Amino acid sequence: ELQLVESGGGLVQPGGSLRLSCAASGFTFSDYAMSWVRQAPGKGLEWVSSIEGPGRDTYYAASVKGRFTVSRDNSKNTMYLQMNSLRAEDTAVYYCAKDSFSRNGVFDAFDIWGQGAMVTVSS
Amino acid sequence: EIVLTQSPGTLSLSPGERATLSCRASQSVSSSYLAWYQQKRGQVPRLLIYGASIRATGIPDRFSGSGSGTDFTLTISRLEPEDFAVYHCQQYGTSPPFSFGQGTKLEIK
């Protein structure tokens, strides 16, 4: 069964750091680009970051660029999101998501989503 | 950055009726890289449509997508009780950022 499981969420003070993990199973992890998408309470979905299969190329939303870093360890079938300088507006459920196809140079729609990790930034 | 605007914000219909949801892009979406997701309360988003008009695996044929360029539509031909949810459109492809619309809430009238 294709599955993504996030971990690492929690409560952190403004200016603090947190690292999320996304463990994948049921598919050849290294073949697929992966992404992070967040959803603030009662709000819509916001794309945060994407990383290509080999892990060389990464992309970020303007709202997190310079503060968040996405990475992956294909030997462990795991993607990470290092979040630094956290702000109240980063409070959200963070989902990891898998591309629906494996295509070089193209990021696809997300066919598999994790259950989400709640990140709360508050003093 | 492509901005997606969904309308209406809320759509109130009855089971059995036809639903038409709109997603308009601020600039052309290349190669129809447009997806629709369904999200029920407390649940994870589910991929319905990709490539503007291709149903994802296991999606009933009452769901259909259409459009190109800047105007896209999700149609649900006959609403079932389980279809009442929030629907999100997203553009993806070769040039990040990959934005989402703000969502349309489909509620029971």
Q: Is A44 on the interface with B (CB under 8 A)?
A: yes
Residue B31: the pLDDT is 79
A17-26 pLDDT tens trace: 999 999 999 9
Residue A103: the pLDDT is 87
* Of A13, A31, A45, residue with least CA distance to A122: A13
A25-58 pLDDT tens trace: 999 999 999 999 999 999 999 999 999 999 899 9
| Number of helical H runs and strand E runs in chain A | 0, 11
Residue B32: the pLDDT is 86
- Cβ contact B47–A44 (<8 Å): no
Peptide bond before residue B45 is cis, with ω within 30 degrees of 0 = no
The amino acid occupying position A78 is T
Residue A13: the pLDDT is 98
Q: What residues does B107 pair with on adjacent strands?
A: B12
CB atoms within 10 A of CB A49: 25
Residue B55: the pLDDT is 98
- Cβ contact A47–B56 (<8 Å): no
* Extended beta strands in A1-123, E state: 3-7, 10-12, 18-25, 34-39, 45-51, 58-60, 68-73, 78-83, 92-99, 110-113, 117-121
Q: What is the distance in angstroms between the Cα of A100 and the nearest Cα belonging to chain B?
A: 9
Residue A65: the pLDDT is 97
User: What are the structure tokens assigned to A50, written together?
Assistant: 């994407």
The parts of chain B modelled with pLDDT lower than 50 are none
Residue B95: the pLDDT is 86
Contacts of B44 (CB under 8 A, 6+ apart): A95, A113, A114, A115, A116
